[in-house]
Amino acid sequence: MLEAMGAAGLHNTYRFFASLARKRSSVSRMASVYWYLIDPIFFLLIIVIVVNAALSWLVAFDVVNRHNQVVATIGQFTQSVTAPLLGPIRQFIPPLGGVDITPIILYLLIQFVNLGALRPLMT
């Protein structure tokens, strides 16, 4: 069989399979970067958004005291992380009936980027 294929055919076959291995390797690296770096960052960002929204409701209904050191620290941290992301959305979408829905919209945007744009590139 090798005699019939010839040296040039064998070399072309090798190049074909080597190119497939390189493509798989680059996708594998991108997938590992996604699964070990980008996906956990999105997950932590969603947690911070939920904590910020829940804390704002708890403070608004006087369930927790905003002068408490722990509550103030958590509130400052979550506000500093989410404010740059929620600010541009708040310019376009004002509070509806006193309810700020921008955390929900930011959550949906993150999920769209995560599931709709990045994950299909990894398969």
The reported pTM is 0.71
Q: Report how many domains make up the chain.
A: 1
Flag whether 113 is in a domain. Answer: yes
Domain that residue 34 falls in: 28-122
Q: How far apart are CA 77 and CA 1, in angstroms?
A: 68
Q: Which residues, listed in sequence order, are joined to residue 99 by a DSSP beta bridge?
A: 96
Flag whether 38 is in a domain. Answer: yes
Report which residue type is found at 118: L
Contacts of 8 (CB under 8 A, 6+ apart): none
Flag whether 16 is in a domain. Answer: no
Q: Report which of residues 42 and 118 the model is more confident about.
A: 42
Q: What digits encode the pLDDT tens for the residues 79-104?
A: 999 999 999 999 999 888 888 899 99
What is the SS3 assignment for 40? helix
Tokens of 8: 């040039």
Residue 2 pLDDT: 44
Q: What digits encode the pLDDT tens for the residues 41-87?
A: 999 999 999 999 999 999 989 899 989 999 999 999 999 999 999 99
CA torsion sign, 39 to 40 to 45 to 50? positive
Flag whether 64 is in a domain. Answer: yes
Flag whether 3 is in a domain. Answer: no
